[in-house]
Amino acid sequence: MSHAPTTVTQVVIVLLLLLPGVIYQFVRERTRGPVPGHRDLGERILRAVTAGIALDTLYVMFAGPWLVHFVYDRRRGWLTGAADNPRIAALTAASLLIVVPAAAAGLTSWLGSRGSQSTYDPIPTAWDKVFRRRSHCLVRARLKSGHWVGGYYGERSYTSGYPEAPDMYLQTTWALSSAGSFERPLPRSGGIYIRMDDVEFLDFVEVSPGAEEGDTAGDRNTSAVGPQREEGVSARRESARTDAGSADTASGH
Pairing of strands 137-143, 77-78: unpaired
pLDDT for 171: 94
CB 129 within 8 A of CB 141: no
Long-range contact set of residues 151-160: C-beta below 8 Å, sequence gap at least 24: 151/185, 151/189, 151/191, 151/192, 152/185, 152/211, 152/212, 153/204, 154/212, 156/191, 157/191, 159/127, 159/131, 159/134, 160/127
pLDDT for 183: 92
Q: Smallest Cα–Cα separation from 193: which of 237, 233, 141, 240? A: 141
C-alpha triplet 220, 221, 225: angle, nearest 5°: 85
DSSP state of 2: T
**Secondary structure class of 1 (helix, strand, coil):** coil
pLDDT for 159: 92
Low-confidence ranges of the chain (pLDDT < 50): 1-2, 4, 217-244, 246-253
For the stretch 198-231, what's the b/e string if a residue is b when 16 or more beta carbons lie within 10 angstroms of its beta carbon? ebeebeebebeeebbeeebbeeeeebbbbebbee
pLDDT for 39: 66
Mean residue pLDDT of the chain comes to 75
Q: How far is CA 80 from the centre of its chain?
A: 44
Q: Smallest Cα–Cα separation from 31: which of 104, 118, 110, 101? A: 110
C-alpha triplet 104, 94, 83: angle, nearest 5°: 145
Pairing of strands 199-206, 137-143: antiparallel
CB 224 within 8 A of CB 232: yes
For the stretch 83-93, what's the b/e string if a residue is b when 16 or more beta carbons lie within 10 angstroms of its beta carbon? eeeeeebeebe
DSSP state of 145: T
pLDDT for 198: 92
Say if residue 114 is exposed, middle or buried (CB neighbours under 10 Å; 0-12, 13-18, 19+). Answer: exposed
